[in-house]
A and B are shown apart, each in its own frame.
Chain A
Amino acid sequence: MSADFAYILVYSTGQALRLEKLLLAAGVDCKPVPVPRHLSSDCGICLRIAPEDGEATQKVVAASGLDVPGLKE
């Protein structure tokens, strides 16, 4: 199934905003959105990206040193 969006889950809003900056700086478009219900029961936010940016995103996450739950399709 090809999804409309992929999501990067994070542990905190601070992480989301930090990662957003890093992704935008790396040319990966993203947007903070509420965590979709099917991914987590957490009430926080996560970052939404285009599915084709998954690989570039993984690289930015790895380089950031941030400990995040990571990418969900």
Chain B
Amino acid sequence: MSTERNDPELVYLDNAATSWPKPPCVAEAMRRFLDKTGANPGRSGHRLSIAASRMVYSAREAIAELFNAPDPLRVAFGLNVTDSLNQALHGLLHPGQHVITSGMEHNSVMRPLRVLEARGVAMTVLPCAADGSLDPADVEAAIRPETRMIVVNHASNVCGTIQPLKPLGEIARRHNLLLLADTAQSAGAVPIDMQADLIDLLAFTGHKSLYGPTGTGGLVLGERVDEAELIPLRQGGTGSHSEHDEHPPFLPDLLESGTPNTVGLAGLGASVRWVLQKGVAAIRDEEQALVSPLLAGLQETPGVKVYGPGAGKGRTATISLNIEDMATSEAGLRLDEEFGILCRVGLHCAPAAHRTLGTFPAGALRFGLGIFNTPQDVTRVLAAVRILAGGR
């Protein structure tokens, strides 16, 4: 059995976990940084250190451009979206306050919130419709005098449902709350404009639809977030403010203690520029051109149940399904071993979302398509699913 992507046998459908392959420019940028620059950014004043700082800054600029962020210096890099969500939630929510979230969240939101809940932060988890969508009217109705934040998954990692952010942003502004968006599944795959969509805090991860390396992500802060109110998860060396024992109060240093993942950021900068050059709208169109026939073919297959929204505007290229009377673990193993199709089965770190879809605790099979999938991949997947669904 092959384990290499360039083997034509394999169909990689686990892009919702981590996209693969990456555009060649990503590894090239990482290699170039290691070979030619290497040094610590922002710590020293020599030419290689300044070159490293420039590389990191240019990755900030690429991210700011992608999301139409107000200022590259309000892009704070972190390890992944989990890290950045923890920073936003633990950094801004205090006992006595209230936070509103949805029944489609990933554990990277749900678990920090449950910890905060145990410390006295009240939380409301709003139920979503069967297709995973959240009604903004429910959000507004849940607001209390002590509500501080709305946090939502922009695109479901389970069934691809896109949650429009602007209506939530409008509510947040009307009631003087902050809107935090988990864009793990949407950044790079769905056009996002922080300012037009009224997003106050945008958490992203580099290794999914931004096509960057693992170990990269960040939090982008809108103008309504007062960094003086933000408690950093970590304190330490930043290369700035060195004459003080106290941690620097300004962004992004406030949130970036310790030497960053420079090699990863070199790759992320390259991948985001690649996404920008291709255009997020064009990427989305290309992916939807694969999603439509795949969804249609799955829906026509007897014994197959597909979850989430149908083809069209309100979904990403992530599809969840079950094959009647077949455990997802078995289906996943057979797809891998017999057909070379790699997907993810189970609960996808999102038990809340599976409860919403009615697939808890059995879970589902997830096909996460990416920009490097092809129409031939779709044909092969449909043929394999038909065999599994029919030939038992």
Contacts and interface: CB of A to CB of B under 8 A. Distances in A.
A14 B42 CA distance: 8
Interface in A4-27: 11-18
B41 A13 contact: yes
Contacts of B43: 43
Given A42-B242, A42-B243, A44-B240, A17 B57 contact: yes
Interface in B218-249: 238-243, 248
B44 A13 contact: no
A42 B73 contact: no
Contacts of B54: 17
Interface in B239-292: 239-243, 248, 250, 252-253
A30 interface: no
Given A11-B241, A13-B53, A42-B243, A35 B45 contact: yes
A55 interface: no
A45 interface: yes
A65 to B, nearest CB: 9
Most buried by B among A15, A17, A40: A17
Given A17-B54, A44-B42, A45-B50, 7 more contacts: A12-B240, A12-B252, A13-B57, A14-B42, A16-B53, A18-B57, A41-B243
Interface of A: 11-18, 32-35, 40-45, 67
Interface of B: 41-46, 50, 53-54, 57, 60, 72-73, 238-243, 248, 250, 252-253
